[in-house]
Amino acid sequence: MDTGGHRLDPDDLLGASAVRAAVDALMLRSREHVAQMDADQVEAATAQCRGAALDVLAAVRAAIGSPAGEDEPRGRAVVVIEDDGGREVHFHAAFHPQLEESGEDGAFLGTAAQAAAVRMLSQMATEDAGGNAPALGGSGREAIMANDAELRHLRRCVELATEALEAGDEPFGSVLVAADGTVLAEDHNRVASGDRTRHPEFALARWAAANMTPGERAAATVFTSGEHCPMCAAAHGWVGLGRIVYVSSSEQLAAWLAELGVPAPPVRTLPIREIVPDLVVEGPVPGLAEQVRDLHRRLHSSS
């Protein structure tokens, strides 16, 4: 581990000043969120950061220190995967003992654990080169692997939602994409007409029924700025459309609206899978979801 010229004492890592520095750094990374928190939330976030800091520092200490009572330290590799607050993911690796150069074509010698860590990192690097950036969904949901093309569709959904808001509608936008990646249709919310069923996902389901074969529908993907409501999820299921990728979840929307003091809608917000159980559904997409949240803030602060 490069410590800038001096050797790091593993025992210092769990000392009060190191833990405090780590907690400060973690809180600084989240400063935009922290600025919106009340005192209790800041206290809870600090406690959470302290837990995370202790986990990471304990792992690094284990990687660079020798276990007590062992003459021959076992090999270790500690990999820390950290997001930068956007869609970039940084990898940090620490090895103990240090990897040895084998002298042949730049190869290194390490223990079995270290070799496994290097294999895992190089596999991730290969996936990265293919344009896939791993990103984790928020609030404990499953991971979403969105590639560049899919991100473009998701950004277009946010653009359509913005257009809807600017046209006096609610901020929701959706894009229907064929199996080969061709954009077939897109729409945004049109409830300002007075017809509360004019959601973009419902319009796309009806477009698909009128213009696509059942096979084409099943292979298509609907990208959308907000998770389908029960009406749209049912329409999607009835016409046999395929995968859904949403930017923000119904759960997030319900929380945002409650926060803004907006009365609950007459139709319950349910996860899509409650309505169409076998559908492949992915989301939310961190980073973009915050943009959708801002659109809802704009809608409800201006009315």
Residues lying near Zn ion in the complex (CB under 5 A) are found at 199, 229, 232
Tokens coding 146? 């969105």
Closest by CA to 292, choosing from 227, 232, 247, is: 247
- Cβ proximity to Zn ion, 99 vs 229, nearer residue: 229
- Cβ proximity to Zn ion, 44 vs 267, nearer residue: 267
- Cβ proximity to Zn ion, 154 vs 244, nearer residue: 244
- Cβ proximity to Zn ion, 135 vs 229, nearer residue: 229
- Cβ proximity to Zn ion, 153 vs 199, nearer residue: 199
Q: How far is residue 222's CA from residue 33's CA, in Å, rounded to a whole number?
A: 30
Q: How far is the CB of 277 from Zn ion (least distance, A)?
A: 18
Furthest C-alpha separation in the chain = 78
Q: How far is the CB of 159 from Zn ion (least distance, A)?
A: 19
Closest by CA to 145, choosing from 294, 280, 242, 290, is: 280
Q: How far is residue 27's CA from residue 33's CA, in Å, rounded to a whole number?
A: 9
DSSP string, 23-92: HHHHHHHTHHHHTT--HHHHHHHHHHHHHHHHHHHHHHHHHHSPPTT-SSPPPEEEEEEEE-SSS-EEEE
Q: How far is the CB of 177 from Zn ion (least distance, A)?
A: 18
Q: How far is the CB of 199 from Zn ion (least distance, A)?
A: 3
- Cβ proximity to Zn ion, 232 vs 292, nearer residue: 232
Q: How far is the CB of 231 from Zn ion (least distance, A)?
A: 5
Contact 54, 46 (CB under 8 A): no
Tokens coding 147? 């590639």
Closest by CA to 171, choosing from 246, 223, 225, is: 225
Q: How far is the CB of 227 from Zn ion (least distance, A)?
A: 9
